[in-house]
Structure 1
Amino acid sequence: MIETWVYPTLTAVAVLTGFIDAIAGGGGLIMMPALLFTGIPPLQALATNKLQSMFGTMMAMINYGRSGLIEWRRNLPSMLLVFAGAAAGCLVVQSIEARWLNLIIPVLLMAVALYVLVSPRMTDEDAHHRVTSRGYAPIGGTIGFYDGFFGPGTGTFFTTSLVALRGYGLTKATALTKLLNWTSNIASVALFAWGGHMLWLLGLCMAAGAMLGGWLGSHTAMKFGARLIRPLLVAISLAMTARLLWGYFAA
């Protein structure tokens, strides 16, 4: 039985995480501990977090799309493989121990933070792409699998790979990240719901907060561009690294 105070509290937290997710990703770094703190079992917490995140990401995606920052048709192959990858990851995570990832992922996140800090490509200027949209699709599918399987840093991985491989400017890469992240969230929500792990009332209350946060965050990102997104990406990457290492060695 969920206590009454949990609903408004986690809805307020969802506003903050939706704002952060819309700009740099990593809102789950705050939301998952908050869900677990209330006593919700881990699998239900993961499922409910995916539900609220799906709505927050959708709001940010709509705002970015209205500004012409998302090429919908060109990225359809990536969406399909991201969906399939996330679905596969969501199925696998229910039967495989994921604790070893707590050591691997911090290394990747540190690499992301270093890349964001030193790369001259981390601006709002588009650059020459190294792979086509179809060539990126398998990479997107792999990140989608990771999102369904584990999750932390997914948005950061999407954004940095889109800048490095597709040549997008940082704001445009952030916009496309919302499309791909939303796609992976749909797959995860569908499978978690099918497995009966979803806390619907709590998740939908949190979704309202996440949508508000996503709306505010996407408008803020479009207004300030790379000069806001770049430092936030670094901060989120380092914060997730510290959180995952702490969780691993404290266990």
Structure 2
Amino acid sequence: MEIEIVLAALFAFLAGFVDAVVGGGGLVQVPALFVIFPHFLVPQVIATNRFASVMGTSVAVWQYLRKVKIDFKAVIPAAVGAAGMSFLGAKASSIIDASILKPVILILMLGIVIYTYTQKQLGEISKIHPSFNRVYTYNFLVGAILGFYNGLIGPGTGSLLVFALVSVVGYNFLMASAKAKIINVVADVFSLIAFLMGGFVMFKVAIPMMVCNMAGSYLGSRMAILKGNAFVRKFFLIVILLLITRFAYDIFLK
């Protein structure tokens, strides 16, 4: 078991780095857990991943708060929507077969990568709608929809949040990534509560993973802040392409 825990911790470090830049850490961490611990149940994998990533995302939030000016009036409705719907999504994960949603998500991600690649100015500067009420509504809807997805499926939530905040609300990539971390950590906490209530977290694995995820998250957030919008945009496209590959494999080959 010890070598398996070391491997899981190494993947958690990489996942923390990726997630801190643009989201998508679950793309690294969740498949790794399935391979390293094939005897784990699906809820155990998701719960252990969630426990490890919550603190890592919190480290990224702390880093972004120090360097990026964040409008919390706009973030709060998204966080509220994400909190409630993520808890419901986690509860629904034992009822709904998430695999039926994967073809829809695959098509959505193909559209996202094409749109982001062709729209060269997307996310370069913030173009937020002047109406606060509209921004409030958009943020709430983004948080609620992706919060439910986060609780139900998980991988790719951070990247989808970044895209939604850039394309729907109008933030630049760096600002969207910073706000996505706050929304994501709130959603993760509430879905984690549901998993803890079910006794699914494998603490012997989750705790060392958490420490390594925090270290990776620290380095990733520092890199994103240092390199700025152009770096985050390129990293976003890479992560979305990897997500497309992952979902295509699950649908057509698995």
Q: Report the TM-score, using the length of structure 2 for normalisation.
A: 0.93
Measure the CA separation in 1 of the matches of 2:224 and 2:180: 13
Amino acid at match of 2:94: Q
Which residue identity lines up with residue 85 of structure 1 in the other structure? M
Q: 1:54 touches 1:182 (CA, 8 Å); kept in 2? A: yes
The amino acid across from 2:162 in the alignment is T
Tell me, in whole angstroms, the C-alpha distance in 1 between the residues paired with 2:23 and 2:68: 20
CA RMSD of superposed structures (Å): 1.5
Match of 1:224 in 2: 227
Q: Residues 45-194 of structure 1 correspond to what in structure 2 (within 5 A)?
A: 45-129=45-129, 131-194=134-197
Cα gap change, 1:163 to 1:83, in 2 (>3 Å) = same
Residues 123, 170 of structure 2: 8 Å contact kept: no
Deviates more, 1:15-24 or 1:136-145: 136-145
1:54-88 per-residue CA deviation (whole Å, 9 max, x = no partner) reads 11111001100111333234321221111001011
Match of 2:41 in 1: 41
In structure 2, runs of 5+ residues without a counterpart are none
> Structure 1 vs Structure 2: percent identity of aligned residues?
27
Matches within 5 A, 1:189-204: 189-204=192-207
Between 173-182 and 127-136, report the one with greater CA deviation: 127-136
User: Counterpart of 1:94 in 2: which secondary structure?
Assistant: coil
Q: Note closer, same or farther for the CA distance 1:68–1:239 as it changes in structure 2 (3 Å cut).
A: closer
Deviation at 1:31, TM superposition (A): 1.1
Contact persistence 2:123–2:173 (CA under 8 A): yes
Equivalent-residue separation in structure 2 for 1:50 and 1:71 (angstroms) = 26
* Contact kept in structure 1, 2:80 and 2:143, CA below 8 Å: no
The structural deviation recorded for 1:93 is 1.1
Distance verdict in 2 for CA 1:228–1:101, change over 3 Å: same
Q: Could you tell me how far apart the structure 2 residues matched to 1:215 and 1:9 are?
A: 20
Aligned residues: 249
Residues 116 and 233 of structure 1 are in contact (CA less than 8 Å); yes or no, is this contact kept in structure 2?
A: no
Which piece of structure 1 moves more, 31-40 or 45-54?
Answer: 31-40
Contact residue 133 and residue 166 of structure 1 kept, 8 A: no
Residue 17 of structure 1 aligns with which residue?
15
Q: How far is 1:139 from its partner?
A: 2.4
Shift in Å, 1:100: 1.2
* Aligned counterparts of 1:188 and 1:54: Cα–Cα separation in 2: 10
Q: What is the TM-score of this pair, normalised by structure 1?
A: 0.94
Higher helix proportion (structure 1 or 2):
2
- Mapping for residues 224-243 of structure 1, pairs under 5 Å: 224-243=227-246
| Deviation string, structure 1 residues 200-219 (Cα, Å, up to 9, x no partner) | 13111101111111110001
8 Å contact from structure 2 (residues 68, 175) kept in 1: no
Q: Which runs of 5+ in 1 are unaligned?
A: none
What letter corresponds to residue 127 of structure 1 in structure 2? K
Amino acid at match of 2:85: G
Q: Which moved more, 1:119-128 or 1:54-63?
A: 119-128
Counterpart position of 1:249? 252
Q: CA deviation at 1:121?
A: 4.1
